[in-house]
Structure 1
Amino acid sequence: MARYRGPKTKIARKFGQAIFGDDKSFEKRNYPPGQHGNNRRRGKKSEYAIQLMEKQKAKYTYGILERQFRNMFEKATRAQGITGEVLLQLCESRLDNVVYRMGLSSSRRGARQLVGHRHITVNGEIVNIPSYQVKAGDVIGVREKSKSLQVINDSLDNERSVYEWITFNKDTKEGTYVSVPQRIQIPEQINEQFIVELYSK
Structure 2
Amino acid sequence: ALQVWSDVTSLTFTEVNEGRADIIIDFTRYWHGDNLPFDGPGGILAHAFFPKTHREGDVHFDYDETWTIGNDLGTDLLQVAAHEFGHVLGLQHSSVAKSLMSPFYTFRYPLSLSEDDRQGIQHLYGGRRPTPTPALDYYHPEIETNEIGNLEPDACDVDFDAISTIRGELFFFKSQYVWRLRGGKLQSGYPALALRHWKGVPD
Structure 2 length-normalised TM: 0.29
What's the TM-score once normalised by structure 1's chain length? 0.29
Q: Which has the higher contact order (CA 8 A, sep 6+)?
A: 1
Which has the larger share of strand?
2
**Higher share of residues assigned helix:** 1
